[in-house]
Amino acid sequence: MIGVFGGTFDPVHFGHLRPALDVKQALALREMRLIPAFQPPHRATPVANPGQRLTMLRAAVGTEPDLLVDNREMMREGESFMADTLSSLRKDLGDEPLCLVLGMDAFLTLDSWHRWKEILQLAHIVVTHRPGWELDISVASAGIQQLWRECHTMASTDLQAQPAGKIFLQKVTSLDISATDIRTLVEAGKSARFLVPDPVWNLIRLHGLYRFSALGVRTASS
Ligand code: ATP
């Protein structure tokens, strides 16, 4: 069984890395792949360009054997729809169970995603806790509530038993870090050290990333 953790990673931070590793270990996944979006749908263009975000992610993972960087959305270019990414992974994996890892915030917006109903035909969804986004399924949209009722399982062994189709809630290390807060700090001339791995912080400084992001002046073009 493998896991995929998608994100904009603008920049990658410990709130991505530790939960990804927690899920890999808790579910005894064969692999955990981090997949940076080339062009994330439904949000503003990232501040760092795709190459910079990929370079930061690779620097963050370094030689960590439990995490892999998968650059298929970067290679595909265009809008990075998760349904396309999971279809391409499914072709590679055959019937091996596949888990899409989503923070609670991302899960609660799932019904706004392109071809979202196909996602559970292609993968399981592992929802992780994120500070500030506690689970209250009663506030979710009707579509998400129905999906939860039909597919939620409390048994992680159910994920191994079929290639896709289940939703499982996984507790992970609670780290109240967001890329938005990091960009705001850097823009204010402050340090983001200890929120991101040192190699990422060094790249941010080396390339002068995020210094002018909220002023509408892009620090880099894509
Ligand atoms: P931004 O602030 O730019 O929106 P972000 O920090 O939320 O960025 P993303 O790249 O948008 O990061 O998130 C990718 C995935 O990582 C999502 O599933 C999100 O829920 C999850 N995630 C991000 N930060 C955390 C965190 N601190 N704890 C747990 N999950 C997180």
Residues 150 and 202 in one domain: no
Tell whether 79 and 117 lie within a shared domain. yes
- Chain-centre distance for alpha carbon 9: 8
- Å from CA of 7 to ligand 1 middle: 7
Do 142 and 188 belong to one domain?
Answer: no
Question: So what's the pLDDT on residue 217?
Answer: 45
Tokens read off for 176: 């109240």
pLDDT of residue 123: 98
Same domain, 167 and 184: no
Segment holding 15, helix H or strand E: helix 14-26
| Same domain for 205 and 121 | no
Q: What is the mean pLDDT of residues 183-211?
A: 97
Return the residue whose CA atom lies nearest to atom 20 of ligand 1: 103
Closest protein CA for atom 14 of ligand 1: 7
Residues 18 and 72 placed together within one structural domain of the fold? yes
- pLDDT score recorded for residue 42: 80
Same domain, 129 and 46: yes
* 129 CA to centre of ligand 1 in angstroms: 11
Q: Which residue from 8, 32, 126, 184 has its CB within 8 A of the most atoms of ligand 1, so it is best to mutate? A: 8
CATH of the domain at 6: 3.40.50.620
**Token match 């992974």: residue?**
89
pTM of the model: 0.93
Residues with CB under 6 A from ligand 1: 7-10, 15-16, 19, 102-103, 105-106, 128, 130, 175, 177-180
- pLDDT tens-digit readout, 202-218: 999 999 999 976 444 44
Give the pLDDT band of residue 221 (cuts 50, 70, 90): very low
Q: Which domain holds residue 152?
A: 2-171
Identify whether residues 164 and 189 lie together within a single domain: no
Q: Quick one: pLDDT at residue 130?
A: 81
112 shares a domain with 193: no
Q: Averaged over 88-108, what is the pLDDT?
A: 96
- Residue among 78, 79, 96 nearest 4 (CA): 96
Read off the amino acid at residue 88.
S
Cα of 63 to ligand 1 centre, how many Å?
22
CB of 148 within 8 A of CB of 140?
yes
Predicted pLDDT at 222? 34
Say whether pLDDT at 220 is over 50.
no
- Residue 38 and residue 73 in contact, taking contact as beta carbons nearer than 8 Å: yes
Asked if 167 and 186 sit in the same domain, the reply is no
The pLDDT tens digits for 121-159 are: 999 999 998 887 777 788 889 999 999 999 999 999 999
pLDDT value at position 206? Answer: 96
Tens digits of residue pLDDT in 44-94: 899 999 999 999 999 999 999 999 999 999 999 999 999 999 999 999 999
Average pLDDT, the chain: 93
Would you state the pLDDT for residue 86? 98
Domain total of the chain: 2
Ligand 1 atom closest to the Cα of residue 43 is: 4
